[in-house]
Amino acid sequence: MPARLLIVDDEPAIARTIARLLRQYELAVETDSLAAHARLAAGEHFDGLVTDYNMPNLKGDQLCHFVLASRPTVRVGMISGSPPDDLDPRITLLLKPFGNAALLQFIRELVGG
């Protein structure tokens, strides 16, 4: 059974591109960080969270910290061109720009598969 991932990016084109590349996983995609937070708070099952950092409402590290505090078995990863200086070491980071192979490797290292 493939890992179930929640992908969060406020740019719909980027979210769709990431989803197309990760077809071998079970995916849920959100373009609104508050909607993603609501799914997580409701207890929806995910094996991993992959989020952009710089988004309106909740930043990616805020989503990651919510998951780390409430669901410690869920792996968290963040994609950013300018991550915060004080990034929690429990958050796996993929720096922009990146290619398809780097994204796939990032996800394999995050949740396997």
pLDDT digits (tens, 9 = 90+) for 43-94: 999 999 999 999 999 999 999 999 999 999 999 999 999 998 999 999 999 9
**Res 50: pLDDT:** 97
4-111, superfamily in CATH? Response regulator (3.40.50.2300)
Compute the distance between CA of residue 59 and CA of residue 36 in angstroms, rounded to an integer: 11
pTM of structure? 0.94
Compute the distance between CA of residue 112 and CA of residue 60 in angstroms, rounded to an integer: 21
Give the start-to-end residue ranges of the domains of the chain.
Answer: 4-111
How many Å is the maximal CA-CA distance in the chain? 36
User: What is the full DSSP assignment across 87-102?
Assistant: --TTSEEEESS--HHH
Alpha helices in 51-99 (DSSP H): 60-70
